Chains A and B, each alone.
Chain A
Amino acid sequence: MNLNRSFFVPVNSPLHNLNPLTKLALVFSMILPAFLSLPQLAPFLAIPILIAVFIGRVQKQYFNLLLKLVLPTILFMFVMQSLFLPGGETVILNLGIFDVTRESMQSAFYTVSRIFVMISSFAILLLTTHPSELMSDLTRRGLPGQFAYVIISTLQILPQMQAKAQTIIAAQRSRGLDTESSFRKRIGSLVPLVGPLVFGSLVEVEERAIAIEARGFTSKRVKTSLHEIPDPAFDKILRGILVILVIASFTLNLWLS
């Protein structure tokens, strides 16, 4: 019943059609400059990110994630950083023992921009790339299978748990638990959920381990792949350009500072 057990959005777009490694390169060509180049650069990286969201046709899911996950995180960080970052003279706001200065706010702004760039680029990667596609491409390029397995199961834990929680909540409502009304009841109903969730996940892990071993997971032979992932010249050129851009941004940083 749970057809979609990852963040992946199955639509057709130029981003979906890029080779997974190219998309990974795009992610790092956002993150590396955001963190290691001039701090002023990070906020501007929001522009290519938004463009990518629309090219990838995942705006609905992306903004949904943004609202539920990214915004709360960065708002929290922004407030904390503005309050607690020491230094700066231009006091904007005084809250008892805390001084909010122009400098601390500015630095907080840069930090959250970086976080935003990082989460957003990974989010777009996950929304436009099927996890198994990403991993089979990387293993084909020499990533150890065990490593790929760890990454892929981590990526799937959240959607899987979500799906499992949904079914259990449906079962509880079918037996008269009113989750739609009181908040206390709703929290209370989550307690019995924890057991089956964890237990179910463990059983699933064990079953999966047996299933993949039965198909020769740890076999030392060179494996062939049924599913060919195209890597056309366009992708290779694009990756080359990205590497140059990242180097350029570092050079710029060294040169200006």
Chain B
Amino acid sequence: MNIEITNLRFTYPTGLEALKGINLTINSGEQVAIVGQNGAGKTTLVRHFNGLLKPTSGTIFIGEWETTKFSVAKLASRVGYVFQNPDDQLFSRDVLTEVTFGPRNLGYEKAKIEELVQRALSLTELTDKTDTNPYDLSPTWRKMIALASIIAMDTPIVIFDEPTTGQDAVNVARIANVIAELRNEGKTVITITHDIDFCAENFERVVALSNGQVLLDGPAREVLGQEKVLAQTYVDPPQLTRLGKRLGLKETVTRQEEFLRAIE
């Protein structure tokens, strides 16, 4: 299921134009990271994918559906969106109810719901916390619940808004694991992140936004190599990439294995 964005512009009621003509195509099964400075418009952009925001002008197609013609609830069967702030997303008494909420609304059969919920809980390692109230858990775990509640919906497109913010190494690895799993299932994963190492290690394609416009778009290695251009949106390439440049390596390297291979 492709995402097709044409000339997307969006102005908030306050009069602030957050998106200034975005053109972007994301193909089925792609793993895309969106980077860019605070206020670049990343959240505003992805909130258009599931219809929470409707374009001021321009169009967005999710498959053959134009987002303006479908309700958010309807689009939820195609696009799962994990909010930036889990506290904006969680409202149930216990973890199990929270995670079951989405798939039940999508009208899957009982057995399927059970299976999806169990899988989401085990992927996020929440299985032993099903009876706990989300607000009795730490913010890091609330983030995992938010993740689980979206994965359980089994949508072809999944969006994560800054999943690794404030998470320790173990949790970051867990999240990377979830993303890898979704990739294996052939899902499209779009992730907003400020964590550039996380971005380099887990995504093939990187889109850099700046000031409501697409600054760079392409394979991770190409985009992350452009130190000067990225500086416009206050993004530093990964340390390894910068080190490679300083060492005068011919290719841009973003991951450890590549770096080791290049210096051999």
Contacts and interface: CB of A to CB of B under 8 A. Distances in A.
A192 B73 contact: no
A196 B91 contact: yes
A173 B79 CA distance: 12
Interface string B85-101: 00111111100000001
Interface in A167-208: 167-168, 170-181, 192-193, 195-196, 199-200
Q: Is the interface of A mostly helix, strand, loop or mixed?
A: helix
Contacts, number: 62
B232 interface: no
Given A170-B52, A178-B71, A199-B135, A192 B76 contact: no
B203 interface: no
A170 B105 CA distance: 14
Given A171-B83, A173-B52, A175-B102, A195 B91 contact: yes
B192 interface: no
B229 interface: no
Interface residues on A, range: 20 to 34
A180 B137 CA distance: 32
A212 interface: no
B211 interface: no
Contact of A168 (B14, B91, B149): B91
Contacts of B73: 173, 176-180
A254 interface: no
A193 B91 contact: yes
20 contacts: A170-B52, A170-B88, A173-B73, A173-B76, A174-B52, A174-B76, A174-B80, A174-B81, A174-B89, A175-B76, A175-B101, A175-B102, A177-B105, A178-B71, A178-B105, A179-B73, A181-B71, A195-B91, A196-B91, A200-B87
Interface of A: 3, 167-168, 170-181, 192-193, 195-196, 199-200
Interface of B: 14, 50, 52, 71-74, 76-77, 80-81, 83, 87-93, 101-102, 105-106, 135, 149-150, 153
Give the 7 A-B residue pairs with the shortest CB-CB distance, closest first: A176-B105, A175-B102, A176-B76, A173-B72, A178-B73, A171-B89, A167-B88
